[in-house]
Amino acid sequence: MPEYKDIIKDAQERMGKTREGFKRDMQSLRAGRANPQILDRITVDYYGTQTPLNQMGNISAPEPRMLVISLWDTKAIPLVEKAIQKSDLGMNPSNDGKVIRLIVPELNEERRKELTKVVRKTAEEAKVASRNIRRDAMEQFKKMKKDSLITEDDQRKAEDEMQKATDNAIKEIDKIAADKEKEIMEV
């Protein structure tokens, strides 16, 4: 197997990681529906350690507009409430001493449009990252050709394969972004 195949495989793996990172970012973006993943970025100062909220208890969505957080240590409820209030989610937690309830507010038209802009911007950043990975691979192919490690035909073949991999990665990013935009604009 020619060495350029390893470069392509490595680039595809890196593009896959970029796509997965983008997918995670989209899952944590609030789209008007209660989704436990919107709390994934929240960390709580728990006994002097920044602890991810999703490691402190169970988070569920019993209703389309409500999240319920059942903590394993009920003494941490005030700490969790404070962390949620400090976050950029814009939600007010309420508790009954056992669980924390978060009502997910309805998104207005302006906020929906803002969120679609965030989706497009994040998608563009992911596509640029994929193109940078392609550029790095192309430079490696040119260097291999210059060092006579591969023939001109191999270089052209490698560049074609790399371009196809990049096109696929960008198509997948576009699909994830389109799905998220559709979800956000759903009333």
Same domain, 99 and 130: no
Write out pLDDT tens, residues 63-103: 878 889 898 888 888 888 888 888 767 778 888 888 889 88
Write out pLDDT tens, residues 8-64: 999 999 999 999 999 888 877 766 667 787 788 888 888 888 888 888 889 888 887
Residue that wins the pLDDT comparison between 85 and 178: 178
- The enclosing domain of 162 has a CATH number of 1.10.132.20
Question: How many domains is the chain partitioned into structurally?
Answer: 2
Same domain, 7 and 73: no
pTM: 0.68
Produce one character per residue of 1-20: b if its CB has 16 or more CB atoms within 10 Å, e if not.
eeebeebbeebbebbeebbe
In sequence order, what are the residues at sequence separation of 6 or more whose Cβ sits closer than 8 angstroms to the Cβ of residue 158? 2, 4, 5, 7, 8, 137, 141, 150
Same domain, 178 and 118: yes
**Residue 50: φ, ψ to 5°:** -75, 110
Judge whether 61 and 35 are in contact, CB under 8 Å: yes
- Whole-angstrom distance, CA of residue 82 vs CA of residue 45: 9
Q: What is the DSSP letter of 187?
A: -
Judge whether 80 and 100 are in contact, CB under 8 Å: yes
Domain stop point among 53, 84, 103? 103
Same domain, 116 and 24: yes
Same domain, 22 and 45: no
Range of the domain at 148: 3-28+108-185
Domain stop point among 103, 128, 152? 103
Write out pLDDT tens, residues 115-163: 888 889 999 999 999 999 999 999 999 999 899 888 899 999 999 999 9
Domain stop point among 103, 126, 151? 103
